[in-house]
Structure 1
Amino acid sequence: MIGLAGATLVACAEKAIPERQIVGADPARGLTLIKAEGCGVCHRVPGLKWPRGGVGGSLDSFSSQAMIAGRSPNRPDVLVAWLRDAPAMAPDTAMPASGLSEAQARDVAAYLYTLDAD
């Protein structure tokens, strides 16, 4: 018999990572935008051979991360806003506002959500 604490641990361990899809967005366009915007200067981005930045942290397994930059919940709407204007959400962030349109940020987010632990 599993006690309350054991049942809680089992329930937590069995929680699936929410699937994050952005309807109408194109991950391939997102990677093209990531390259064009120079995101790899600060971030290690799977799919980019160079540059391989380390200042902003790696984006490996991004889809399985619970938080964006350790600050905000990793949800599509929040990610799109972060990609467009991170300083508006966190004035002390080193990440600059990107100038991406809503559609472009959705494409970049769609690419980031393809990055899983596999």
Structure 2
Amino acid sequence: MKWIALLLPILLVACSDKTNPPRTIAGADADAGLQVMRRVGCAACHVIPGVDWPRGANGPSLKGFADSPMIAGRFPNRPAVLTAFIVDAPSMATDTGMPAMPLTQDEARDVAAYLYTLHE
């Protein structure tokens, strides 16, 4: 019985709420990010809430992106990592189908800000 008393606090912590806090990027503009995504054609590969056409099927859907703990299933979903991935995914994941994007750092930050508005 003593082991139950010792194990209980560990189990309670393990079962606690693990939701991610909202991610924000200071100075970034989510609305501008959506416009950048439309301009450069991100929806040619991804389904993107807020973009009706095209509805790409090659890349993953970006619906609920803000709630995902990982980027591309292998990188922590953090603003600096996401911004770097948006600009030059192949330098981070050589096996990705996502091309390097012709974006400035500010544009990539705006895109990341938009992605962080996409909750399930």
> With structure 2 as the length reference, what TM-score do the two structures score?
0.90
Aligned residue number for residue 104 of structure 1: 107
Pick from 12, 15, 21 the counterpart of residue 7 of structure 1.
12
Describe how 1:58-97 pairs up with structure 2 within 5 A: 58-97=61-100
Alignment gaps of 5+ in structure 1: none
| Identity score, percent | 50
Alignment RMSD (CA, Å): 1.4
1:49 corresponds in structure 2 to 52
Cα distance in 2 between the residues matched to 1:5 and 1:27: 39
Residues 42-64 of structure 1: per-residue CA shift (max 9 Å, x gap): 00000011000111010000000
TM-score (normalizing by structure 1)? 0.91
Report the 3-state secondary structure (helix = DSSP H, G, I; strand = E; otherwise coil) of the residue aligned with 2:28.
coil
Whole-angstrom CA distance in 2 between matches of 1:34 and 1:64: 19
Instruction: Kindly tell me the number of residue pairs found equivalent between the two proteins.
Output: 115
Which stretches of structure 1, 4 residues or more, deviate above 6 A after TM superposition? none
